[in-house]
């Protein structure tokens, strides 16, 4: 994740959170806001074993399911709850790899504000890939 993107969003240093195998199967990188942005959060993970097809196969569990493109890659904005939880964005990097970004713009943020953070983050990560 480019440091300039983290700073532009108003987040502090990131932290790697290894997967707790009992509750999650993926390692994540987490950022939280600083100063007055302390409620902002960002979580990023890459699933190296599952492509975007898995998200499509689970479409029924989402209350919001929007297909889009992010930096030339197929993506899905798929959320199960209201805006308070943030915006889940799944981006297909390959047939067997998905970038998952959860952005939350902070207190009283709208889903569009949360998703702007998720999209900005995904675009920056994809542009930085080799």
Which tens digits make up the pLDDT trace of 47-74?
Answer: 888 899 999 999 999 999 999 999 999 9
CA-based end-to-end distance of the chain: 13
Of residues 20 and 32, the one with the higher pLDDT is 32
User: Is residue 84's pLDDT more than 70?
Assistant: no
pLDDT band at 36 (very low <50, low <70, confident <90, very high): low
All domains of the chain in start order, with CATH: 3-128 (3.40.1000)
pTM, two decimal places? 0.84
The pLDDT value recorded for residue 17 is 64
């Amino acid at each position: 994740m480019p440091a300039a993107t983290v700073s532009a969003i108003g987040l502090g240093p990131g932290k790697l959170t290894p997967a707790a195998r009992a509750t999650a199967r993926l390692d994540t990188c987490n950022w939280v806001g600083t100063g007055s942005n302390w409620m902002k959060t960002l979580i990023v993970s890459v699933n190296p074993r599952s492509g975007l097809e898995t998200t499509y196969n689970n479409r029924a569990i989402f209350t919001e399911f929007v297909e889009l493109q992010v930096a030339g890659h197929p993506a899905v904005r798929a959320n199960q709850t209201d805006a308070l939880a943030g915006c889940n964005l799944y981006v297909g990097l390959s047939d067997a790899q998905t970038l998952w970004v959860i952005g939350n713009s902070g207190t009283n943020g709208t889903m569009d504000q949360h998703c702007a953070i998720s999209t900005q983050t995904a675009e920056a990560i994809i542009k930085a890939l080799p």
